[in-house]
Structure 1
Amino acid sequence: MTIEYSGKGDPARSLALLWRTSERTSRKGKPDLNVDRIVRAAIEVADAEGLQALSMRRVAERLGVGTMSLYTYVPGKPELLDVMLDTVYGETARPEEVPGGWRGRLEVIARENWQLYLRHPWLLQVAASRPVLGPNVTAKYDYELRAVDGIGLTDVEMDSVITLVAGFVHGTARGAVEAAQAESRTGLSDEQWWAAHAPFFSRIADVERFPTAARVGQATGEALGAAYSAEHAFEFGLQRVLDGIEALVSGRAS
């Protein structure tokens, strides 16, 4: 899997693009090409073909323009990637009124991030330890922090809680994307794969040697209809993460 890193571009140029402080107009004076249109085309390429297919040339082809014309608006691919990230992070809903207190708010945040990864699987190919300091990323972080503000946590704990939830969603989303891509990459659905391998499993399965694995594996397969369910992993794991945070919050109150 191709891994890209956010924040690789020139910081001054990236920030100017992210905050649109120095956007240039078309040389012809027509609004037929601008940063927003270029970024949207780049996101469409990444959504459809994966991050490995993203290049200035490929984006230009999608827009039907010459590659060099993009450089009038975007310095290069690293800066473009930063703006792509900030743009898609702006898609998450941020309702102010959410039932269920802080737990309900964190659940909404987790589900919004989960859906974001499913819409844009290429996000999982971007290492974002160096955050993109754009308006949407900043607004998203501020909103998520406010979900746990005033519940008895320190500022560092607030940040850690958001990091914990985000990390859980990132991991389960990776499993969901990989499971979804397995069929298209291998040409076999899960049902077809298991059917093809079942005769061999029955030969090597040793219930006496691996009794716990046999019992649990059978129960899981019957309950989920498969050996693995990304949706179940997300739903079960999210509640356990929230349980852990609740224990932390309750400990502060006692």
Structure 2
Amino acid sequence: MGALSGKTALVTGGGRGIGRAISERLARDGARVGVHYGHDETAAKETVAAIEAAGGRAFAIQAELGVPGDAEALWAAFDAQAEGLDVLVNNAGINKAVDGTLKGIGEVTAEDFDRLFAVNTKAPFFIVQRGLTRLRDGGRIINVSTGLTRGAAKPELIAYAMTKGAIDVFTSTLAKDLGPRGITVNAVAPGAVDTDMNARWLRGEVNAEARQRVSGISPLGRVADGTDIGDVVAFLASGDSRWVTGQWIDATGGALL
């Protein structure tokens, strides 16, 4: 039996990149996984199919985040396919402005700012708020943060890093609040990860220099892939992490050393 046999998990943004790796790992550990997506139905269904092909159980649910009523829509879709929850992973997030670019403080518009906070900070807050009646005692909440909240962020990621700084505060405070129910709350903070989101600057021969530079930041001498983060999340979702709560887990491969 897997560490999560008989459990139900929900991973926001679970169809691609880090989210897919998390979904697949939790399913491999025995959980029935709700793979949430906002727009990319194809990727979510491919993730579900991959999980099922490996002998696991999963289902896809759709809800756009960062819009009015997003948490209610997500839980309505979840309730149609599951009853109760044991593991909630707040993974979905964006790091670009409305026009799809990265912007420093001189270029970020109010619309950019509000969109980043709506998806990365407000949505997880209300997903948890609306989900507490579904989350069983002894459950797990895992928030995906970023290594950029420790030390100065890159100038073009200032607003993004601010959204995750709020998630760090949310994590530690929520851990105190939910401790009496045996629910642990932790944040996992990746560094640069080789996913589709980072493909434009991290992959291909043209970007060999960028990849080498990122590899050199970690004392382990390589770039992370989604499974490196998914495995950390799996530990926090398991019973083995029962005495770990309110923590910010550095999953940057030592990049902050």
Same fold (TM over 0.5): no
Q: Which has the higher strand share?
A: 2
Provide the TM-score with structure 1 as the length reference. 0.31
Provide the TM-score with structure 2 as the length reference. 0.31
Q: Which has the higher helix share?
A: 1
